[in-house]
Amino acid sequence: MMLFADAFATYIKGQTIQHCGFQLLKRVQQPDGYFRELGGYYTTFSNGYRLMFYGENLEQIPVQEALILDANDVVIARDTEDLRWENETNPYK
């Protein structure tokens, strides 16, 4: 798997947007043989690569994940960020 910034610069930057939408969870087999449930808001680019975003809660921690997928829905890069507020009260408690 590539670093997210490198994959973005290589496969997304400078490409033309072809389609945007929302994908319900879809089971996709990855090259390592494991399956992954992919779903969320996505943008498809002229080279067939997609940028997908989704969020979820892991117990009390809201998380946002960004994925870069190839034309076969194989994840080539991912970036996960927890959305906790360090100096604020968490409104999700």
> Per the domain annotation, does 39 fall within a domain?
yes
User: In whole angstroms, how far apart are CA 68 and each of 57, 91, 93?
Assistant: 21, 30, 31
- pLDDT at position 43 is 96
Number of domains comprising the chain = 1
Task: Find the largest Cα–Cα distance for the chain.
Answer: 43
Q: For residue 58, is it within any domain?
A: yes
What's the pLDDT band for 89 if we cut at 50, 70, 90? low
Domain limits for position 69: 4-82
- Asked if residue 47 has pLDDT above 80, the reply is yes
Residue 91 counted as domain residue: no
| Cα distances (angstroms) measured from residue 55 to each of 20, 27, 65 | 17, 17, 6
Averaged confidence pLDDT in the chain: 84
